[in-house]
Amino acid sequence: MKARAGEWIALYTISVLVALVLSGVLVEVSGGDWWPVLEALVDGSVRGPQRWGQTLGIAAPMLLVGLGTIVSSRAGLVNIGQEGQLLFGTAVAVYFGFRIGGPGPLNVLVLLAFGALGGAVWAGIAGVLRTHRGVPEVLTTLLMVTVAGQVVAYGLKKQSLLLAPAASRGNRNQVSEQLAADNRLPVLRVFGNEIPSATFLAVILAILVAFAMGRTVWGVRLHMLGRNPRIARRVGVSEQKYGLAALLVGGAFAGLAGAVMLTGGGFQFSNYRLVPGFSAGIGWTGLLVALVAREKVLAAVGAAFVFAALRNGSGFVNSTGVESRITEVVQGFLVLALLIPPAVMFLRDRRRSRAASAAGV
Amino acid sequence: MSSDSPGLVGADVVSVPAVELRGIAKRFGSVVACDRVDLSLHRGRIHGILGENGAGKSTLMNILIGLVLPDGGSVCIDGKPQLIHDPITAARLGIGMVHQHFSLVDALTVWENVALGESGRLDPSEVRNRIGEIGDHFGIVVEPDVRVGDLSAGLRQRVEIVKCLRHDPNIVIFDEPTSVLTPDESAQLFQSLREVVTAEGRAVVLISHKLDEVLAATDDITVMRQGRVVERLNTKLASAPALARAMVGREVSLRAERAALGVLSVGDTHDHVAHSTGELPALELRHVSASTGRSSVALDDVSLSVFPGEILGLAGVEGNGQRPLADLLSSLVPATSGEVVVAGEVVVAGRPGAMTRAGVAVIPEDRHDSGIVLDMTVAENLALVDLAQVSRNGIVDIRQLERRALDLIDEFGVQCEGPHAPMWSLSGGNQQRVVLARELSLDPAVLVAARPTRGLDVGAIDYLNDRLRAAAAGGVAVLLISSELEEILDLADRIAVIYRGHVVGDFPRSDVDVQQLGLLMGGATP
Amino acid sequence: MGDFASVVWDIFTSEATYTIGALFAALLLFGAAGELVAERAGTINISVEGMLLAGAFGGAVGFDLTDSVAVGVLFGIGGGMAVASVQAEMSHRLAADQFVVGLTLNILVLGLVGFLDHELAPVAHKAAAWRVPLFADLPLVGEALFGQPWPFYLVYLCVPVTWWLLFRTRWGLEVRSSGEDPRSADLSGIDVNKRRRQSIYLTGLMSGLGGAFLLFAQVGVFDDGMVGGRGFIAIAAVIFGGWTLKGTIAGSVLFASALSFRLSLQAQGYEGINSELLQALPFLLTIAGMAIFAKRVRPPAALARPFIRGLK
């Protein structure tokens, strides 16, 4: 067992190093210097004033999306439409949030709830098509991302749907009303950093998800469905119920992430308004968080923080004369690098066990 | 050891061997699959390779046809050393194999399948002509433009054989060819094999775990055990008990073990457990039809009942509806008509979990398909079916889960690193024990065992059969579905036969003989 | 409604509609023809989006270096192949999850070209139109089919070649059996993962061409948003077409028509149908198509299942 741990660490170290070196080479080739870029990244993500809090604020929705993804992939479903579920969830939250308009703090809860509901509905369409018509959810969830973008853009053109009244939108033509100050998630101050309460919400939900997946009958049944749907069916785990539920939960988390981005105080994604492109890639990144974490909640927390740091740090990179999108490249290389060790180890384990069973031992 | 055909007593062989394997070694990780194996195959002779599952015979043949590369040793074809690194090279050297589970692609037509695995330009009309020629020459007629998925198992084997013969191989390997054939069809196959061998001077290898078959059809026999050749002899000088001893490595006396080795003991019956008349059947199928998909035989108007305390053996050649029957009793497919009654209650087949709740336990034909979850732990696999036993208010009690697992591991002798070992790390035999332990621990009313001994070694088979008998003695109604007649004859109290989705015949064990069963399995009416 | 009818009439009688539609269809076909081969071999190759973008970027780099469209097209192929190599080697040598790899590649390519974009001189580069005499003078569709910039005509080559490769060659037979029953293919002596990798490389080649085509024949200036999800529409076309070449062509043409129709409506200044919703139309059509046909159309049996010898 010890030797195996060593192999894991070695593989991960090498892969990540290669990814980072590749990124560094790319910076050098395009005429930059890698060291200042790295410094800028660190300054922009954790070292600079207020940056810690912002990074945590960005990590929160990423983690939320990742948690939902973990639940749906636990059931063997490949949901890759979080970006759309997030956007549509936010739109639903905006639509109902401004119509219900209860007392401030309570309305925050309304916004979050409708965000989750909207995300669940959007994922649920793909879910029902999967469980009742046999349509692969990989494709429907993916295609629904673009549809969500178009639907929300359409909604933002109609004042009866999402568009803000002329008085409050100034000269912009596709923008929702701004959330009132008391409709926003509170910000906590820790050591001079502003940390949005969303971060705490995400961590609490992470603990809940970890518990649900590992310790509850529901979690075991989802796992069974994901890994062997036939035995699952034999023992009474209905794909139509559990599979759909897993996708709904996945969508709900994405929608919740959107609502958090809208209401979350510490980091402002779009100044408390819904605009086209509001989702800003958080859905995609959250998906990547879950993919590199491979269904492990703790790893998802770590990955969310790293990706959030890259994103937050990218703001400082421009000052070094290097295009800030290098952070996207680093992120892509990192994800690919993190895919390699488990794939290698999987192949080796399975070859060994196959050999063992082939030889009847 | 001398390398030229050792053990061929009274050798009437003078030619250069068609195939000569020397010192073939292959390890998978820490496991030795082939340990310095020598083997000579001669033209004009049928060579039987006997061995239990895992004895290394498949690995050896996979090396010969280029699917596995050996770690050491040499391969000579017609006296010339050769490196065979893929099946295409093997085909060029005149080696062909008829695979046990076929190498056919259902979605393609017969001619496309036959053309698969060659090199060079694809010429459909040439392939079609060749199929016709082979059909004329060997009497194996197949229609070239039918989809393979639409063919019966027997016809698919014909396609598989044509595919193998297309290269006009000098060396033909048959891997357990009789599992999809009725006894009659098997006899025919061996008859035509004999003709091919004597008339055309080909070398034929017959891989089998059935002693009777090898004794009846071969000229030479090599017995393998744990990767080594433990016996080579001329078939004329071989006897069943001696071969059995060589295969298993110890004296084989138990009747069950002999059955497992494919030795039929006609008239050998055991104590018949009679169910009292008037008792309700634990499982009853009334005019049930069901189907698993387009390309397999569907269950058609099947009626049968199994009573508490008895083993009903359902005999039949593979692919005659056993699959949909097992799927039906696993809640995997709905009944398109008729009803399934368990302990007097009608059960809605196809509703997830319905059969399990009604008290039907299943040992599936393919445990990877619906028996275990490879990515879960042994403890989880042992608890899968009834999670309520190890949980409270929907939360799994880890200690309870572990305790239960330890008990079952102990009781059923599962060899593993502990309750938290991943299921994939267990050998096939131990995985099967996990399935058995779990299913029996549920106190089922009905136990469906579909080919439960497939791929197990003799010791494990013996254990499993004892367990099945004990379960029946304890009042469980056991439905044993098997294509191995020996197994059925050994275990069952009553016997029925399944043929093309129909169930025909229902006899007490004492009233049947092998010939009669064989005919029924081939479609004769009782 | 009379107003709408006349607008539609104008659109259907305008050459521009067909010219734009043909360009859209060609782009989708470049992606979809390769994607079809990859899917028949058993891969849902989501990175086709990234391959198209890499193709376009490669084209821009090639042109930047040499001022030659032909060299640009070759560079475009190189771009597509580079993405294909990562997808192929990671998902069919290492057996990493194909969706994860594909998705990551799409994001990575977007980041990479966004990062490197600034190294390029921002010049317009559009290939010259080649008019096929006589044919280009056909009414309505002549310009569209025979009066396009030369990279367009490559699609006339790609589609038949795909058909020939997939259905008339031994390679195609082996590719199809790898996607249907990799275990049997393996037993027959076919290197399943090699065939799968090759089919992805072919997708890379054609998508690379497609990307270069997009740059040189359609847009003229490189922009990292120029593909804009049309790789996904190409995947949708394959599925909509029930994994047949005919169906894939039909799907590509149908989706291209929807895209072109939307543009034409906008050009006519018609506001009665919302342009966002029209833009979502190809996606909605695909989803509806899959919902209706999913149970009748049979995908390759081993689609999206990795093959490791000895493992199910």
Name the minimum distance, in Å, from the CA of A209 to any CA of chain B.
13
Answer whether residue C202 is part of any domain: yes
Q: By the 8 A CB rule, do A169 and A273 touch? A: no
How would residue C312 be classed by pLDDT, with cut points 50, 70 and 90? very low
Q: Find the closest chain A residue to C101 by CA distance.
A: A336
**Predicted confidence (pLDDT) at residue B4 exceeds the cutoff of 50:** no
Reported as a pLDDT band with limits 50, 70 and 90, residue B9 is very low
CATH number, domain of C226, equals 1.10.3470
The CATH homologous superfamily of the domain defined by B280-359+445-526? P-loop containing nucleotide triphosphate hydrolases (3.40.50.300)
Kindly report which listed range (A216-220, B209-213, B407-411, B419-423) carries the lowest average pLDDT score.
B209-213
The mean-pLDDT minimum among A243-247, B243-247, B253-257, C102-106 falls in: B253-257
- Specify the 3-state DSSP secondary structure of C117: helix
Supply the DSSP symbol for B274. P
Which H or E run includes A187? strand A187-190
- Residue A351 pLDDT: 66
Please count the structural domains in chain A.
Answer: 1
What is the domain range of residue C230?
A: 26-293
φ/ψ (deg, to 5) at C311: -110, 145
Please, is A6 exposed, middle or buried when counting C-beta atoms within 10 Å of its C-beta (0-12, 13-18, 19+)? exposed
Q: Does A228 touch chain B (CB under 8 A)?
A: yes
Written as one string, the DSSP assignment of B302-351 is: EEEEE-TT-EEEEE--TTSSHHHHHHHTTTSS--SEEEEEETTEEE-TTS
Helix (H, G, I), strand (E, B), or coil: what is residue A277? coil
Question: Partners for C (CB, 8 Å, 3+ pairs)?
Answer: A, B
Task: Write down the pLDDT at residue B347.
Answer: 95
B114 torsion bin: left (phi>0), alpha (psi -120 to 50), beta (else): alpha
| Token reading at B124 | 């459909």
Contact C310 A358 (CB under 8 A): yes
CA distance C275 to chain A (A): 8
This prediction's pTM: 0.88
A297 pLDDT more than 50: yes
- B69 has a pLDDT exceeding 90: no
CB contact under 8 A, B28 and A234: no
- Please check the confidence at residue B524 and state whether its pLDDT lies above 80: no
Strand partners of residue B47: B205, B220
> What was the pLDDT predicted at A206?
97
Q: What is the mean pLDDT of residues C218-241?
A: 89
Tokens of B120: 């060079």
- Amino acid residing at B244: A
For residue C8, being part of any structural domain is answered with: no
- Pairwise pLDDT comparison (A164 vs B159), residue with the higher score: B159
Please report the pLDDT score of residue B262 as a whole number: 62
Binned at pLDDT 50, 70 and 90, residue A18 comes out as very high
Could you say which of C180, C186, C187 has the minimum Cβ distance to residue B107?
A: C180
Name which of C233, C50, B190 is nearest A142 in CA terms.
C233
Instruction: Compute the C-alpha angle A157/C10/C139, nearest 5°.
Output: 135
Q: Which chain B residues touch C177 with a CB distance below 8 Å?
A: 105, 108, 112, 116
Tell me which chain A residue has its CA closest to the CA of residue C233.
A143
Quote the minimal CA–CA distance from C205 to chain B in Å.
Answer: 24
User: Closest by alpha carbon to C88, among C132, C34, C169?
Assistant: C34
For the cut 60, the answer to whether the pLDDT of residue B66 exceeds it is: yes
**Shortest CA distance to A220 belongs to which of A204, A235, A205, A240?**
A235
Amino acid identity for residue A44 in this structure:
G
Determine whether the interchain pair B86/C189 forms a contact, defined as Cβ–Cβ distance below 8 Å: yes
Q: Is residue A105 part of a domain?
A: yes
B3 pLDDT above the threshold of 50: no
The enclosing H or E element of A186 equals none
With b meaning 16 or more CB within 10 Å and e meaning fewer, what string describes B467-490?
Answer: bbbebbeeebbbbbbbbbbbbbbb
**CB pair distance less than 8 Å for B356 and A350:** no
Instruction: For residue A251, give its domain range.
Output: 56-292
Q: Which residue of B has its CA nearest to C184?
A: B103
Asked if B79 and B72 count as a contact pair (C-beta separation under 8 A), the reply is: no
Average pLDDT of span C204-233: 93
Is residue C182 included in any domain, yes or no?
Answer: yes
Most B CBs within 10 Å: which of C188, C307, C311, as the mutation test of the B interface?
C188
Where residue B119 falls among pLDDT bands split at 50, 70, 90? confident
pLDDT at residue B261, rounded to an integer: 65
Question: Is A208 near chain B, with CB under 8 Å?
Answer: no
Complete edge-to-edge strand list for the sheet that includes strand B299-306: B299-306, B283-290, B337-342, B345-347
Query: With an 8 Å Cβ cutoff, are B99 and C187 in contact?
Result: yes
Interface residue A325 vs chain B (CB under 8 A): no
A interface test, pick of C91, C105, C108, C224 with most A CB neighbours within 10 Å: C108
Q: Is B105 close to C190, i.e. CB distance below 8 A?
A: no
Chain C residues in contact with A151 by the CB 8 A cut-off are: 276-277, 280
Q: Residue B474 corresponds to which tokens in the numbers above?
A: 């304890």
Write out the two tokens for B366.
């393919």
B348 close contact with A: CB closer than 8 A? no
> In this structure, is residue C17 part of a structural domain?
no
Over residues B371-398, the mean pLDDT reads 92
Q: Determine whether A302 is exposed, middle or buried from the number of CB atoms within 10 Å of its CB (0-12, 13-18, 19+).
A: middle
For residue range C2-15, list pLDDT tens digits in order.
Answer: 577 887 788 788 88
A101 CB neighbour count, 10 Å cutoff: 12
CB B373 to CB A216 under 8 A?
no
Contacts of A239 in chain B (CB under 8 A): 352
Tallying the residues shown for chain A, one arrives at 361
Predicted confidence (pLDDT) at residue B444 exceeds the cutoff of 70: yes
Mean pLDDT over each residue of chain A, to the nearest integer: 88
Task: pLDDT band for B86, please (50, 70, 90 cuts).
Answer: confident
d(CA A243, nearest CA chain B) in Å: 13
Strands B19-28 and B72-77: antiparallel
Whether the predicted pLDDT of A7 surpasses 60: yes
Of B213 and B3, more confident: B213
pLDDT at residue B268 greater than cutoff 50: no
Yes or no, beta carbons of A323 and C114 under 8 Å apart: yes
Residues of chain C with pLDDT > 70, as a percent, come to 97
Q: Is the pLDDT of residue B252 over 70?
A: no
In single-letter form, the type of residue at position C219 comes to V
**Domains identified in chain C, total number:** 1
Tokens found for residue B460: 């494990």
Instruction: Give the one of B67, B102, B368 whose C-beta lies nearest to C312's C-beta.
Output: B368
What are the φ and ψ backbone dihedral angles of C134, each rounded to 5 degrees? 65, -60
Q: Which chain A residues are within 8 Å of B228, Cβ to Cβ?
A: none
For chain B, the maximum distance between any two Cα atoms, rounded to a whole number of angstroms, is 77
Whether B231 shows a pLDDT value over 60: the answer reads: yes
Query: Sorting pLDDT into bands at 50, 70 and 90, what band is A3?
Result: low
Nearest to B105 among C170, C185, C312 (CB): C185
Task: Give the residue carrying structure tokens 């016709």.
Answer: B132
CATH label, B1-94+169-252, candidates 3.40.50.720, 3.40.50.300, 3.40.50.11540, 3.40.250.10? 3.40.50.300
Residue C9 in domain: no
Chain C 80-119, residues with CB within 8 Å of chain A CB atoms:
86, 90, 94-97, 99-101, 103-105, 107-108, 110-112, 114-119
Predicted local distance difference test score (pLDDT) of residue B257:
62
Q: How far is C263 from chain B (nearest CA, A)?
A: 42
C223: β partners: none
**Mean pLDDT (chain B, rounded):** 85
A246-255, B241-250, B390-399, C266-275: range with lowest mean pLDDT: C266-275
Banded pLDDT at A1 (limits 50, 70, 90): very low
Distance from CA of C108 to the nearest CA of A (A): 5
**Exposure letters C139-158 (e unless 16+ CB within 10 A, then b):** eebbbbbbbbbbbbbbbeeb
- Binned at pLDDT 50, 70 and 90, residue A348 comes out as confident
How many residue contacts between A and C have a Cβ separation below 8 Å? 147
* pLDDT average, residue stretch B222-233: 91
Q: Does B368 touch chain C (CB under 8 A)?
A: yes
Contact residues, B window 38-97, toward C, CB-based 8 Å cutoff? 66-67, 86-88, 90-91
Contact yes or no for B238/B213 (Cβ under 8 A): no
* Contact between A234 and B391 using a beta-carbon 8 Å cutoff: no
User: What's the rounded mean pLDDT across residues C163-187?
Assistant: 95
B chain contacts of residue C298, beta-carbon cutoff 8 Å: 107
| C153 falls within a domain | yes
What is the mean pLDDT of the segment spanning C290-299? 79
Residue A361 predicted with pLDDT over 50: no
Answer yes or no: are the C-beta atoms of B50 and B221 closer than 8 Å.
yes
Comparison of pLDDT for B321 and C195, the residue scoring more = C195
With a cut of 80, say whether residue B8 has pLDDT above it: no
As a whole number, mean pLDDT of residues B4-33 equals 70
C-alpha to C-alpha distance for B47 and B235, rounded to whole angstroms: 9
pLDDT band at B155 (very low <50, low <70, confident <90, very high): confident
What's the pLDDT at B264? 55
Short-list A123, A151, A147, CA closest to A137: A123
Under DSSP, is residue B361 helix (H, G, I), strand (E, B) or coil?
A: strand
One-letter amino acid at B131 equals: I
The answer to whether position C308 is within a domain reads: no
User: Which residues in A lie closer than 8 A to residue B369 (C-beta atoms)?
Assistant: 230
CB contact under 8 A, A80 and C103: yes
Return the bridge partners of B289, or none: B337
Tens of pLDDT, residues A114-141: 999 999 999 999 999 999 888 889 889 9
**Residue in chain C nearest B108 by alpha carbon:** C177
- Residue of C45, C183, C276 to mutate for A, most A C-beta atoms under 10 A: C276
* Cβ(A231)–Cβ(B372) below 8 Å: yes
Q: What is the pLDDT of residue C197?
A: 97
pLDDT band at B266 (very low <50, low <70, confident <90, very high): very low
pLDDT value at residue C160: 96
End-to-end CA distance of chain B: 55
pLDDT of residue B295: 57
CA distance A225 to chain B (A): 10
Q: What ipTM did this prediction achieve?
A: 0.88
Question: What digits encode the pLDDT tens for the residues A41-82?
Answer: 998 888 887 788 889 999 999 999 999 999 999 999 999 999
**In Å, how far are A265, B103, B486, C181 from B132, measured between CA atoms?**
78, 20, 37, 26
Q: Which of A218, A230, A353 sits opposite B369 (nearest CB)?
A: A230
**pLDDT band at residue A204 using 50, 70 and 90 as cut-offs:** very high
Q: What is the reported pLDDT for B6? A: 43
Residue of B nearest to A239 (CA): B352
Query: Comparing B472 with B486, which gets the higher pLDDT?
Result: B472
Given this model, what pLDDT does residue C34 score? 96
3-state secondary structure at position B476: coil
Sheet order of strands, B477-482 included:
B360-363, B446-450, B477-482, B311-315, B494-499, B502-508
